Chains A and B, each alone.
Chain A
Amino acid sequence: MIFQFIRRAVMQGVPLLYGSTGEIITEKSGHLNLGIPGIMYMGAIGGVIGGFFFEQSGANFDLWYIRVLAVLIALFCSLLASCLMGLLYCFLTVSLRANQNVTGLALTTFGVGAGNFFGGSLIKISHADVPTVTLTKTSSCFSAHLKFVDKLAASADAGKCPKILADICSVLFSYSFLAYFSIVIALVAAHVLMKTRTGLTLRAVGENPATADAAGINVNRYKYIATCLGSMIAGLGGLYYIMDYASGVWSSDGFGDRGWLSVALVIFSLWRPNLAIIGSFLFGGLYIVHNYIPDLSMQAQELFKMSPYVMTLLVLIFVSIKEKKEALPPAHLGQNYFREER
């Protein structure tokens, strides 16, 4: 039971982890990208579109290289879609110096709308009975995981090995590659941000672009790269959700408010990707814990879903009262940089 819960919590947390890792990278460059929810939608629909047409082309999914190709195509389409969104945001806020909040919110409206629009169009094309697009084959490629976990579970059921071993293996090793990849990316991001020159420079850009500029850093280039890279990572969260968590079923607004939850997670994890890993599992757990508490009323479930936001608020308040500088948002978050304004 508890292992089952942890497993689901992790799977629930992975999209959030992608989203918040992407957003942390973006925010470290000083740009508050409120378009993340839209970008995650676009990442999801990008993968769905790629997968859909590849499946429609009648490729033989029994062949291993076709399966690899299916994954690659979906990945590519997903990354392309979210990168384009990131570029649009950058162009407007970095080059044209538009207000970040307004641009981000517009991007979210646009991204969610575009996601639902293309999804809805695919539903129409596929003439399905239910309002969903189902990519069973592509999804099965994405959700492939290590076989020995299943074998172990089977042998545990048959009493051949300890149940606890099978359960632990299931919690640790039963996820698809994108789930592990999210942790890898978060760890790499944490390492790059704190331990490398690139990270130092990026943080400098977000903390004080004028200082970074004076130190000979190309501020705008860093902002562009960080935002686009962040968008692509966030987009993967959408892709994971559809392809693995939702088993390849796209439905309108199915992704829900996970995008905003990712933004909350950024604050909760104090702009540190490694903390975001733990935070994402915690948030994921809170998101589904109501299913595991017996006899919980429907209304109480909703209060549980509120808890990640409340916790984030508490962290935000606590940090600002404590004035611990490292835990505060990047000093120039949300402010565009124009050299001649110093």
Chain B
Amino acid sequence: MSEQTSVETGSGSGVKADGRVPAIELRNITKTFGEVIANQDISLNVYRGEILSVLGENGSGKTTLMNMISGIYYPDSGEILIDGEEVLIRSPKDAFRYKIGMIHQHFKLIDVFTATENIVLGLNDGRYDLPAYEVRVKEICDRYGFVLDPKKKVYDMSVSEKQTVEIIKVLFRGADILILDEPTAVLTPQETDRLFNVLRRMREDGKAIIIITHKLHEVLSLSDRVSVLCKGRYIGTVITAETNEQKLTEMMVGEKVDLNIHRSDPPKDSVPRLVVNNLVCKNEDGIEVLKNISFTAMSGEILGIAGIAGSGQRELLESIAGLEKLESGEITYNNPATGAAEDLRNKSPRQIRELGVRLSFVPEDRLGMGLVGNMDIIDNMMLRSYRGGRGLFLNRTDPASLAEKIINDLGVVTPGAKTPVRRLSGGNVQKVLVGREIASAPTVLMVAYPVRGLDINSSFTIYNLLNEQKEKGVSVIFVGEDLDVLIELCDRILVLSSGQISGIVDPRVQPEGITLKEQIGLLMTKKVSGTEETPAGSEESSSAEGKEAAND
């Protein structure tokens, strides 16, 4: 292939002035999944001895793009060039051959194997000599400054050790183009620092490194250049030294899009419905995923929750719904029917229901949690209500009429109420789920990413439903990822950052100096004081901008 077709956006691609050829170059890559365009016309490149950050919000298509480099997906159109040669990467094996190594967000390791065994798995380089391999692993560790016992079993490892194994795995195979997908999402600040030092050493070693992230201070402290994606499109590439957090945020969040979502003012007689106080919650590994969360959800308002993925949104909603064990803290529900304050701490969903708490929850995982894919719409309607009525038998007549009602009212496209929900499209699945949760006349309605993967019409159906509920006096808690939507739909926006509240924003008030979107964007990546030291270089600007933050 010749070089003729490189139309550039920003400092896109091509041969550098000094004649160096990029280690890897993407030209006009487009990838669609069904109707959804994940990547559109994306071009970027990275040179050896350079760290490139790929920056973008959740759902901006970063991971999809990188998966095409590592052979997991195949692009619909566009070209990938390695050292100036066009290549075809159809499988992870092909990627290995081009010395591309990707470190996924979800580790692919075998629990009962040692570090070394995992590292050499699938390798074929002559004699299988475990002690010799261990020595080589050790060498790599020493060279780049990793700390890892080659004989340690994966099930005994911390998350950061597992990540180290993944990185060494690709280095061991001689990878010189490394892609790291959100490597710091699971790390503590100290571990992050250590990782960055390692990456800098690799850069000195002449490796080309791509790091996917949405944390601005990391971008600024680590990378040489930044390529920004937004909603599947390529925005541009800038040199890190010539930019700052605000400029990057602007690029990342994009222009404000007017969605024309109708928003009414919350009623005057709004009362606290759900009070959360000092909530602390740990995950399986014993790491605190929610730290001292306190907020009040009012009746008749939509409380938005913003934050980068994995900042504790899921845990927050699940702990309110009775699915997560609390370490400490209180959750109190003010029952409008009785006026009593019910304590929801460590109660099962069933117990919560039996208290007369009308709490509905639309979880993120629709077919894995909220609905049963293999059951038809009617049976899915019963999930919440099947226990009702006396006797042993199920009452299917009420669910059947509810199913019909939801199909008609929300315009669910389905061959019939007896169709397994698995066969419905994403939007219709969501309508069924939201419809069911609303049907039980909730006083608190929690929805997590309700429009993810939905087309524009279905999305608006959902927004209207939420608004309707709000006008009925329901306290709606909305976890979203699209800032435009959050800003236009919500009455207040609570921003989570690494399991803590970094600020609560009133979307009706325009901040000074920056746009509302940028303000939220900064809060999302802000380090809340009182946690850990942040890497040098990024702290000043971040705390200067985050006025709303809960400083002490």
Contact = CB atoms under 8 A, between A and B. Distances in A.
Direct contact between A and B judged by beta carbons closer than 8 A:
yes
Interface of A: 195-197, 200-201, 203-204, 207-208, 210-212, 214-217, 325-326, 331
A326 B153 CA distance: 10
Contact of B112 (A196, A216, A325): A325
Interface string B216-245: 000000000000000000000000000000
A216 B92 contact: yes
A207 B155 CA distance: 13
17 contacts: A195-B128, A195-B130, A197-B120, A200-B113, A200-B120, A201-B121, A207-B110, A207-B111, A207-B112, A211-B110, A211-B121, A212-B121, A214-B92, A215-B108, A216-B91, A325-B112, A325-B155
Interface string B117-161: 100111110001010000000000000000000000101000000
B460 interface: no
A175 B408 CA distance: 79
Nearest to B96: A216
A204 B110 contact: yes
Contacts of A331: 111-112
A216 B93 contact: yes
A197 B121 CA distance: 8
B108 A214 contact: yes
Contact of A200 (B92, B108, B128, B153): B128
A197 B111 contact: no
Contacts of B96: 216
Contacts of A326: 112
A196 B351 CA distance: 54
B122 A217 contact: yes
Interface of B: 91-93, 96, 108-113, 117, 120-124, 128, 130, 153, 155
B111 A201 contact: no
Contacts of B93: 216
Contacts of B122: 201, 204, 212, 215-217
Contacts of B110: 203-204, 207-208, 211
A215 B121 contact: yes
Most B CB contacts (10 A, CB to CB) among A200, A208, A210 go to A200
B124 A197 contact: yes
A189 to B, nearest CB: 16
A94 B111 CA distance: 24
B153 A325 contact: yes
Nearest to B117: A200
Nearest to B109: A211
B108 A211 contact: yes
Contacts of B108: 208, 210-211, 214-215
A208 B108 CA distance: 9
B121 A200 contact: yes
Given A216-B92, A331-B111, 5 more contacts: A197-B124, A200-B128, A203-B110, A211-B110, A211-B121
Contacts of B120: 197, 200
Nearest to B169: A215
A204 B121 contact: yes
A331 B120 CA distance: 20
Contacts of B109: 211
Contacts of A214: 92, 108
A31 to B, nearest CB: 17
Ordered nearest first, which 4 A-B pairs have the shortest CB separation?
A: A215-B122, A197-B128, A216-B93, A211-B108
Contacts of A195: 128, 130
A326 B111 CA distance: 9
A214 B155 CA distance: 20
A216 B113 CA distance: 17
A321 B120 CA distance: 31
Nearest to A196: B128
Contacts of B123: 197
A217 B130 CA distance: 19
Contacts of A210: 108
A312 to B, nearest CB: 21
Nearest to B155: A325
A311 to B, nearest CB: 24
Contacts of B92: 214-216
Contacts of A211: 108-110, 121
A300 to B, nearest CB: 41
Contacts of A204: 110, 113, 121-122
A195 B91 CA distance: 29
B192 to A, nearest CB: 25
Contacts of B155: 325
A212 B121 CA distance: 8
A31 B133 CA distance: 30
